[in-house]
């Protein structure tokens, strides 16, 4: 017979063990992540009417290094959400916030890129683009 109560509890397994809360927290994080992903359009709803879609002709594109340079410069402009520049068609397609930047600003900023050999011309501007 064990005389000391501490040893008796330890040997017989009477001591209550602390339950770990880690699995509960991981489950809560997983559930919240799934719900955020499932309802991302409702939770992170953007004002789609403020976005516009502009197609610009870019003169001066001669090599494969030009489109990434223009794309990165356009995406650094405050208000530009997304830009895509194609060498073969000499076009820049820009999604921007029409409340923060205008197409004329995009046109002027293209001519300031690099040594000034590029020239932007606005072709089409569509307001309120819904399919970002």
- pLDDT tens for 6-32 read 666 666 666 666 667 788 888 888 888
Given this model, what pLDDT does residue 16 score? 63
Give the bridge partners for 84, in sequence order.
Answer: 93
Give the model's confidence band at 46: pLDDT under 50 very low, under 70 low, under 90 confident, else very high. Answer: low
Q: pTM of this prediction?
A: 0.59
Any idea which fold 48-127 has?
Answer: Alpha-Beta Plaits (3.30.70)
% pLDDT > 90, the chain:
15
Confidence check: pLDDT of 77 > 80? yes
Nearest CA-CA partner of 98 in 127, 57, 70: 127
Q: Copy the structure tokens of residue 94.
A: 């820009």
**Alpha-helical regions (H) of the chain:** 5-12, 22-38, 40-43, 66-75, 103-112
């Amino acid at each position: 017979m064990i005389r000391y109560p501490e040893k008796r509890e330890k040997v017989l397994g009477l001591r209550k063990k602390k339950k770990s809360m880690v699995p509960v927290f991981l489950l809560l994080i997983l559930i919240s992540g799934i719900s955020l992903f499932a309802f991302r359009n409702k939770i992170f709803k953007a004002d789609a009417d403020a976005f516009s879609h502009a197609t610009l002709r870019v003169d001066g594109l001669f090599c494969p290094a030009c489109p990434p340079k223009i794309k990165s410069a356009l995406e650094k402009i405050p208000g530009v959400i997304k830009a895509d520049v194609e060498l073969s068609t000499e076009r820049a397609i820009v999604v921007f916030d029409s409340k923060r930047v205008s197409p004329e600003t995009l046109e002027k900023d293209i001519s300031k890129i690099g040594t000034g050999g590029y020239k932007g011309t606005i072709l089409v501007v569509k307001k309120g683009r819904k399919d970002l």
